[in-house]
Structure 1
Amino acid sequence: MKSPVTVEKLTARDLRLAPAPSFFEAIENVKSVQVITPSLGFKVINARGFANTTNVRFAQLVDGIDNQAPHIGGPIGNALGSSDLDIASVEIVPGTAAALYGLNAINGLANFSTKSPFTSEGLSLQQKTGVNHLGDASSPAKLYSETSLRYARALGTRWAFKLNGTYTRGYDWIANDQTDLFPQGNATAGLPGGPANPAYDPVNGYGNESSNRSTLSLGGKSYAVARTGYLEKDVVDYRLRNLKADAAVHFRPHARTELAYTYRVAELDNVYQRSNRFRLQDYVLQQHALAFTTPTVQARAYLTRESTGRSYNLRSMAENLDRSYKPDAQWNRDYTAAWNAAVQAGQSVADAHATARAAADAGRLQPGTAAFRQKLRELQDINNWDQGAALRVRADLLHAEAQADLGRALRNHLLPRLPAFLDLRAGLDHRTYVIVPDGNYFINPNPKKDQFSNLTYSKTGGFVQAGARVWHDAVRLTATLRADKNDYFRLRLNPRFTAVVSPTPRHNFRLSYQSGYRFPSLFEGFSNVNSGQVKRIGGLRVMSDGVFENSYLRSSIDAFNAAVTAAVNANTSSASAAEKRRLAIENNKGLLRRNPYSYLRPEQIRSLEVGYKAALLPQGRLLLDVDFYYNRYRDFIAQVEAYVPKTNNPDSAAIYLSNRATQNRYRLWTSSQTQVYNYGGSAGLRYELRGGYLAGANVTYARLDRAESGDGLEDGFNTPRWMYNLNLGNENAYRGLGFGINYRWQASYYSQTFLVTGTVPAYATLDAQLSYHLTKPNVRLKVGATNLLNRYYESFLGGPSVGGLYYAAVSYGLN
């Protein structure tokens, strides 16, 4: 009630009432939270805007321990997290929490608290069985299964242990959007977009993107022609698997002092999305954690290890499947010869293109054949995306932190007269990432070391906080200052000031101002990979020195080449094709724009938040929570694609940039030059009715206010303006029978990503569950459905189509 910032919480009761199949899915219905679904087993949590499929701005913790995959910089859903049997509660802080946590949590964080083996003992079992893909044109119905076990025991008053294991199997949601991303590619030559477009580039098709196109001169005109490529469903195995387990030993030498060691491990097969979509296969995460807790001190140290196993990039897989039977140059020659022959035989231009593609595709590997499957397995193990598709990364995260309640310590030992209304705290933390370079995805850029020697990247930080409770605890004030020093960047300071005014215990007004920094992740700072003949490199100077200064924006190069093609196709003179092209290049070179961006800087947010929380009606049965925030972001970390002409003569740049073979192509991580302002708010009601009924409603509003400096926002806001939830439930409506219903709606929104840009349609989902609790034995039965009406939707463009999941669960021994 008196938190100085907005905090949302799911209690054990909330989780039992939720119609979602797991606690992690239930988070989607929390006020202020936006969740996107790249996969059935991989949901991404975000708050207050700027969402993407790898959300490195939102931290996800289990018992205060970060469970991200180190090289990604964010978690893979709940792959390494707690099971439903072991979860005690969920707390979510929407908005920046960097001043205290320092975990790049500038959009917020979620902390999953697990059950203590001292207080929750015994054996618990749970089996969920379900079905999805009902009514799916892309797949028949598929089974879903999740089996969980938990065993905990206290050995006297000092020792306790617990064991958890979960095995999930299913069939992933399918991404099969075949909308043409390049419909105007041949408009000047009179050909429409869609499958008949020689440059057809479906959203969920790979191997036919811009880097797989060529400009061919056919019949005196220029045509953009792409390789045929493959649909996503041709190159990915949609079978989903997640096997995870954890074991913990707890020791209490004294009643209020505890030392705990936890080991977590997860192996998964899943679909994952970043700029491209990936198949994670035999992917392994491990974590060793040590936690020490007293009333005065909290300390943690942990090591997270990541191995990507036999994972692969879907786009590179499709590209190299095409090139495995015929290189681009030969394919283009065959296409040209077949087109000319077809036209001479009297075929129309459009029919000639279809004939030419069929001829050039002769010998192409066909999905489902033994030869296709064999080649897919071969490419999956080639760790070079210009030749294969393997993702082979090994990375470690080492973290240590400690916080101390200095006020309590001073009063207990040195200054017993220190006023009780003063609160003094301090904390320190250190984090080091260690990458084992693979020569494809990561190298060591230090010129004094071998490129295959381990790459390290570290940050050290700490905070001090002073607080006071005055006027009989009616006003609480805190001031916090955090300092962080990251490799490659100077020291950064984050202040935070908060106030909570409580004229009565039931009415609480809060105000906070804080800033936060996000430092580049490993991927953003150090990536070094060729993908589709475009080299993606980290934005730190040590990785991309010289590229920014000598490159031109791809967007301007695309506009330039489109204008050149249009001019060639519109030129009806008797000049040769080469002369027409030379004139078009000269007349349109003014469209080319030098790359205005530069090397990475830390992202920064400044946030002002006000809120009100009240417990109304007798016994506080009606809980009201309202918040409003206004944020200013600076130095957004995002990607820009820019190409360097292979010439030192700037006068020749246009000629070199008109030909793919005479330019070096890069995708760079950089910092936006734009200052961005966004604002929003949320309101929630929770009403405890008679008879154990619990009703709730919440609404969330988020809006991009403006972007100053006019260079355009590179990283999309990707957030619906409005979202709301309505829910009603009762654990024991009649003789052990309970139910839970949730209706969720979100508005359409404009989505801007490197894969696809456009409008995500509005959608609504209805989730429901019925439960029955037998007290002897302690068994809970539950049947439910998410997206009960089975109305398929996409939570973001380029992602899968999500339908209904219908399930039944049997749980024994829940406590």
Structure 2
Amino acid sequence: LGFRIINTRGFANTTNVRFTQLVDGVDNQAPHIGAPIGNAMGPSDLDIEHVEIIPGTASALYGLNAINGLANFITKNPFTSTGITVQQKTGVNHVNDAETSAKLFSETSLRIAEKLSNRFAFKLNGTLTKGYDWIADDRTDLNATANTAVGIAGGVNNPGYDPTSGYGNESSDRKTVTLGGKQYVVARTGYYEKEVTDYHLQNIKADLGLVYKVNNQSTLTYTYRFADIDNIYQRSNRFALKNYILQQHALEFKNPIFQVRTYLTTENTGKSYNLRSAAENEDRSFKSDDVWYKDFTTGFNRALAVSGTSAQQALIAGRQFADQGRLQPGTAAFTDRLNALANVNNWDIGSALRVNDQMFHVEGQVDISKAISKDFRQSTGFDFLAGFDHRDYIIDPDGNYFVNPNPAKGNAAFTYGKTGGFLQVGKDLLDNTLRLTATLRADRNDYFNLKFNPRFTAVYSPIEEQNFRVSFQSGYRFPSIFEAFSNVNSGGVKRIGGLRILSNGVLENSYLKSSIDAFQAAVKNDFNTQGISTSAAIVKEKGLLVKNYYDYIKPEHINSFEIGYKSLFLDHNLKVDLDFYYNKYDNFIAQVEMSTPNTSNPDSVAIRLNDKNLQSRYRVWTNSRSTVYNYGGSFGLTYRLFNQFTFAGNASYAKLQRTDNNDGLEDGFNTPQWITNVSFGGDHVYKSFGFNVSYKHQSSYYSQTFLVNGTVKAYGNVDLQVNYNLVKQLNLKVGASNLLNNYYYSYLGGPLVGGLYYTTLTYSL
């Protein structure tokens, strides 16, 4: 509810590191994530002038990582948009929600802007958002086939039950146990997400802008942004963000010939915590795994000894016996332990997320043509543009999430930087109806060699109202600091960055978890169905084990080809816009799980890998060996009727064409094949009355993330808004998002989303 994620061109996820989000040209990402947390530090609705969306690769001009697209929020100018504006949005959600009663939603915004003189103006914005977030409570069993060999299907009766929105029963919380002559996969009981978090949200954001006109053409601008976030956020795990603070200072000098911009973003995760680790360690804090499984076995055997007791009943009795004394949700003891775990910065025994880091950025751009002469382009048809940028991430190691890669420096801060620049040449031809542009960008990273990004575009405009465009470009994405330097202990699995300095020695001596899982399942099946001893089954099935073949992390790469057409018809009342793209991706940055057997004896490797306690388990950032091809396009129409009504419709199509060298490690496409939108609205239809109604539909799609895989069902939503100017300075809006209150999943692992019904009052002085 508190975050909205923008995505274009596929491979979507809730973090979306391939899509860049700017505010007035300034990157507003959370540094350690490498992507923004929705619009948490972005502008308020009152201060947005317009939003520029650039779908597709934009790396050549905007730098690496914008390989799937870019959004730039342009804010209002305090010299021209002055005054005081207050907005109050009050709504209700969770209507007819099986999980909870209806809840209030409130968003209060203030904008103050004033031109103090012909040279100086300022603006101040603030927004407070409070509500009750949507609840994630999907009970689908992610480990449904674990015990089919002993006749037990997935679901709540599965002793290895792993509900999607439950934690503490994942692979690291399961064990193969021999009971009654059979081998069962048994998971710790764990807790549901709603039992280990509070869905109340409170997000605060504010910004201050000071603008000074040095002269009629030169402007100096200072901007400060602040965000304090209390919300649920999903990455590879789900997190409760508490007192999560983002701050940004930006300074820009700009005139028609050149501009220089620098900014510093700081991040402090406050009292945030990992929901999975909270559930795991809440369960383990009352009883260790060794003791719990021993008690489970005792309870099973006691129950089975009673005449007439089935194995299924004995499994239930074993869990009840082992869970005696378990902390119960809602009790003071449970809450106290949960709070204590949230202050332990080690996910093997606690759940705290403690990250302090900074991102420093400086960039410049010069219009060489205008620097030569103001009429250079008009007289020659050429224009030249050049730019540079440098970025440093400054990471303060916490000893768990990040460590200094140089052990000799202990917990001293370390940096991760990159430098780049570009040169662009444009030429007008055919009486200025054809424009050709060529751009070459070069970037290097502290740990990677120079990478070149070329871009070629052609725009043909036979008349002013019509243009055809074609482009080819390539782009790279360097690993984020988490992908490069992470060092996290989590439930017995160590997550490590993909740089050699972090993962040296692990990749060379590990076996892939996918093969270990297949090996262990085969051993268990042989024991259960063929009566083979475990030791004999290990020898029989050890050929299933696969040595790791992945390498140290490298930058992602994309080649993209696009064509498009845009035109105005019928006295500019009809707008037509269409485009088509074809992309090739390679070296997808992804995670792979692997284990090193705790032995130097090659004859003992298989024995060690059949027991999770005899191996060291890792989740390592690396690159997929797959090459992925996808294509798609969009078609949009906007028609203005009687200069009062607007009808609009668009459809986008996205298709994953094929994958070469498929290793299953590439990111999920996670994109509906079809998304369609239709809207109809009117301005001042009757006096000061206006309205807009829209319908969105998206097809089902297969979602593949590290948290959960599965199909996201198709859904359609109706949104409605009516507005009325009560007086000149006071506007009332009444509306609904998801008017029909059809609950749906927008992504797996997340919550069911229903309708939000609201009124908005905006008063301007």
TM-score when scaled to structure 2?
0.99
Alignment of 1:775-794 (within 5 A): 775-776=727-728, 778-794=729-745
Alignment of 1:402-551 (within 5 A): 402-412=364-374, 419-450=379-410, 452-551=411-510
Cα contact 1:691–1:733 (8 A) shared by 2: no
Match of 1:378 in 2: 340
Cα contact 1:458–1:487 (8 A) shared by 2: yes
Whether 1:609 aligns to 2:562 is yes
Q: How far apart are 1:116 and its partner, in Å? A: 0.7
Q: Following the alignment from structure 2 to structure 1, what is the Cα–Cα distance between the partners of residues 30 and 629?
A: 30
The gaps in structure 2 that reach 5 residues or longer are none
Q: Following the alignment from structure 1 to structure 2, what is the Cα–Cα distance between the partners of residues 138 and 749?
A: 26
Whether 1:325 aligns to 2:286 is yes
Whether 1:690 aligns to 2:642 is yes
Whether 1:595 aligns to 2:548 is yes
Whether 1:179 aligns to 2:132 is no
The equivalent position to 1:721 in structure 2, one of 665, 668, 673, is: 673
Q: Following the alignment from structure 1 to structure 2, what is the Cα–Cα distance between the partners of residues 327 and 565?
A: 24
Q: How far apart are 1:103 and its partner, in Å? A: 4.1
Match of 2:756 in 1: 805
Match of 1:388 in 2: 350
Whether 1:350 aligns to 2:283 is no
Cα contact 1:512–1:609 (8 A) shared by 2: yes
Match of 1:368 in 2: 330
Q: How far apart are 1:127 and its partner, in Å? A: 0.2
Q: Following the alignment from structure 1 to structure 2, what is the Cα–Cα distance between the partners of residues 713 and 677?
A: 15
Q: Following the alignment from structure 2 to structure 1, what is the Cα–Cα distance between the partners of residues 557 and 414?
A: 26
* Partner SS, residue 799 of structure 1: coil
Residue 478 to residue 788, structure 1, CA distance change in 2 (3 Å): same
Q: How far apart are 1:650 and its partner, in Å? A: 2.8
Amino acid at match of 2:608: Y
Whether 1:97 aligns to 2:58 is yes
Match of 1:114 in 2: 75
Match of 1:625 in 2: 577
Match of 2:586 in 1: 634
Amino acid at match of 1:799: G
Q: Following the alignment from structure 1 to structure 2, what is the Cα–Cα distance between the partners of residues 344 and 713?
A: 46
Q: Following the alignment from structure 1 to structure 2, what is the Cα–Cα distance between the partners of residues 512 and 801?
A: 40
Q: How far apart are 1:594 and its partner, in Å? A: 1.4
Cα contact 2:369–2:376 (8 A) shared by 1: no
Q: How far apart are 1:754 and its partner, in Å? A: 1.1
The one of the two structures with greater contact order (alpha-carbon pairs below 8 A, sep at least 6) is 1
The equivalent position to 2:512 in structure 1, one of 553, 557, 560, is: 553
The equivalent position to 1:760 in structure 2, one of 712, 730, 735, is: 712
* Partner SS, residue 335 of structure 1: helix
Whether 1:137 aligns to 2:98 is yes
Cα contact 1:552–1:643 (8 A) shared by 2: yes
Q: Following the alignment from structure 2 to structure 1, what is the Cα–Cα distance between the partners of residues 34 and 49?
A: 26
* Partner SS, residue 743 of structure 2: coil
Amino acid at match of 2:162: D
Alignment of 1:21-60 (within 5 A): 40-60=1-21
Cα contact 1:707–1:713 (8 A) shared by 2: no
Cα contact 1:394–1:436 (8 A) shared by 2: yes
* Partner SS, residue 570 of structure 1: helix
Cα contact 2:703–2:712 (8 A) shared by 1: yes
Cα contact 2:590–2:665 (8 A) shared by 1: no
Cα contact 1:404–1:426 (8 A) shared by 2: yes
Q: Following the alignment from structure 2 to structure 1, what is the Cα–Cα distance between the partners of residues 373 and 447?
A: 41
Match of 1:77 in 2: 38
The equivalent position to 1:307 in structure 2, one of 265, 268, 278, is: 268
Q: Following the alignment from structure 2 to structure 1, what is the Cα–Cα distance between the partners of residues 287 and 667?
A: 37
* Partner SS, residue 388 of structure 2: strand
Q: 1:770-805, CA deviations, whole angstroms, 9 ceiling, x for partnerless residues?
A: 1002453x1110010101100000011111110000
Q: Following the alignment from structure 1 to structure 2, what is the Cα–Cα distance between the partners of residues 193 and 706?
A: 32
Aligned residues with identical type, % of pairs: 59
Q: How far apart are 1:549 and its partner, in Å? A: 1.3
Q: Following the alignment from structure 2 to structure 1, what is the Cα–Cα distance between the partners of residues 486 and 228?
A: 24
Amino acid at match of 2:434: V
Q: Following the alignment from structure 1 to structure 2, what is the Cα–Cα distance between the partners of residues 309 and 553?
A: 35
Q: Following the alignment from structure 1 to structure 2, what is the Cα–Cα distance between the partners of residues 598 and 761?
A: 36
Whether 1:168 aligns to 2:129 is yes
Q: How far apart are 1:714 and its partner, in Å? A: 2.5
**Structure 1 range deviating more: 330-339 or 592-601:** 592-601
Whether 1:673 aligns to 2:625 is yes
Amino acid at match of 1:189: V
* Partner SS, residue 381 of structure 1: coil
Q: How far apart are 1:90 and its partner, in Å? A: 0.4
The equivalent position to 1:233 in structure 2, one of 194, 203, 214, is: 194
Q: Following the alignment from structure 2 to structure 1, what is the Cα–Cα distance between the partners of residues 282 and 701?
A: 35
Whether 1:699 aligns to 2:651 is yes
Q: How far apart are 1:710 and its partner, in Å? A: 3.3
Match of 1:20 in 2: none
Match of 1:18 in 2: none
Q: Following the alignment from structure 1 to structure 2, what is the Cα–Cα distance between the partners of residues 348 and 417?
A: 86
Amino acid at match of 1:779: L
Amino acid at match of 1:527: S
Alignment of 1:187-206 (within 5 A): 187-206=148-167
Amino acid at match of 1:631: N
* Partner SS, residue 158 of structure 2: coil
Q: How far apart are 1:590 and its partner, in Å? A: 1.2
* Partner SS, residue 333 of structure 1: helix
The gaps in structure 1 that reach 5 residues or longer are 1-39, 573-578
Q: Following the alignment from structure 1 to structure 2, what is the Cα–Cα distance between the partners of residues 283 and 237?
A: 15
Residue 334 to residue 114, structure 1, CA distance change in 2 (3 Å): same
Match of 1:128 in 2: 89
Cα contact 1:80–1:244 (8 A) shared by 2: yes
Match of 1:24 in 2: none
Q: Following the alignment from structure 2 to structure 1, what is the Cα–Cα distance between the partners of residues 394 and 501?
A: 17
Cα contact 1:411–1:418 (8 A) shared by 2: no
Q: Following the alignment from structure 1 to structure 2, what is the Cα–Cα distance between the partners of residues 319 and 613?
A: 54
Q: 1:671-707, CA deviations, whole angstroms, 9 ceiling, x for partnerless residues?
A: 1111111100001001111141111000000011111
Q: Following the alignment from structure 2 to structure 1, what is the Cα–Cα distance between the partners of residues 415 and 595?
A: 29
TM-score when scaled to structure 1?
0.93
Q: Following the alignment from structure 1 to structure 2, what is the Cα–Cα distance between the partners of residues 287 and 754?
A: 31
Q: Following the alignment from structure 2 to structure 1, what is the Cα–Cα distance between the partners of residues 464 and 36?
A: 38
Q: 1:331-369, CA deviations, whole angstroms, 9 ceiling, x for partnerless residues?
A: 000010111111011211001011110110001000000
Match of 1:34 in 2: none
Whether 1:580 aligns to 2:519 is no
The equivalent position to 1:770 in structure 2, one of 697, 700, 722, is: 722
Amino acid at match of 1:669: W
Amino acid at match of 1:764: G
Match of 1:750 in 2: 702
Residue 797 to residue 477, structure 1, CA distance change in 2 (3 Å): same
Q: Following the alignment from structure 1 to structure 2, what is the Cα–Cα distance between the partners of residues 740 and 357?
A: 55
Cα contact 2:591–2:665 (8 A) shared by 1: no
Cα contact 1:410–1:418 (8 A) shared by 2: no
Match of 1:735 in 2: 687
Q: Following the alignment from structure 1 to structure 2, what is the Cα–Cα distance between the partners of residues 175 and 303?
A: 35
